[in-house]
């Protein structure tokens, strides 16, 4: 192998992160760039959902999720894994999932989940007040969630345009 090629082969492979997740105040926060989540990223999300299923004793009335996506969406197999976890849950029609996006693909996924009984709701990035109201979180929790969203966005490869108004919205809350 030529020396130049050998040197290139030893370069570190850049880590590209398409999705990040966090649980705060009982709300699962998910942030996705325009690329679909990798299997290992989705596995982190699934582990979080499984933990909440146990913690909430399967009661969906306690489950809240806030998703920001620029178009990155779970694959069919990844969506099926969510449906499998949700099988047998109490009050599945009471889950609160707010998806903030301009992406037509993401809105299509919302529609697909609604068809199978998940009452997801989509919001445009300029409808943050409505998204937080839908989740029924307090002003203090909203401020904390906004800070966490900004932190998660900083870990994602590229910018997350769907969350670009979060900091400005947080500033309007005062405190």
d(CA 41, CA 64): 19
Contact 102, 162 (CB under 8 A): yes
Q: What are phi and psi of 39, to 5 degrees?
A: -55, -45
Question: How far, rounded to the nearest angstrom, does the alpha carbon of residue 26 sit from its chain's CA centroid?
Answer: 14
pLDDT in tens, 106-165: 888 888 878 877 788 999 999 999 999 999 999 999 999 999 999 999 999 998 999 999
Domains parsed from the chain with CATH numbers: 18-172 (3.30.750.24)
pLDDT tens-place string over residues 82-113: 888 888 777 777 889 999 999 988 888 888 87
From start to end of the chain, where are the E strands? Answer: 19-24, 27-32, 64-69, 96-100, 120-123
**What is the DSSP secondary structure assignment for residue 59, as one 8-state letter?**
B
At 4-35, the pLDDT tens digits run 445 444 444 445 699 999 999 989 999 999 99
Does the pTM exceed 0.85?
yes
Q: What is the pLDDT of residue 172?
A: 95
């Amino acid at each position: 192998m030529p020396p130049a090629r050998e040197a290139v082969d030893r370069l570190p492979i850049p880590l590209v992160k398409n999705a990040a997740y966090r649980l705060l105040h009982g709300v699962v926060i998910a942030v996705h760039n325009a690329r679909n989540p990798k299997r290992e990223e989705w596995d982190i999300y699934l582990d979080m959902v499984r933990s909440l299923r146990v913690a909430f004793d399967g009661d969906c009335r306690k489950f809240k999720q806030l998703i920001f996506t620029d178009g990155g969406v779970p694959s069919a197999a990844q969506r099926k894994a969510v449906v499998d976890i949700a099988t047998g849950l109490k009050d599945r029609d009471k889950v609160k999932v707010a998806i903030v996006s301009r992406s037509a693909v993401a809105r299509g996924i919302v529609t697909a989940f609604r068809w199978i009984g998940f009452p997801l709701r989509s919001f445009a990035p300029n409808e943050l007040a409505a998204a937080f109201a839908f989740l029924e979180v307090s002003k203090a929790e909203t401020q904390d969630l906004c800070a966490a969203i900004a932190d998660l966005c900083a870990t994602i490869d590229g910018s997350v345009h769907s969350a670009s108004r979060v900091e400005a919205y947080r500033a309007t809350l005062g405190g």
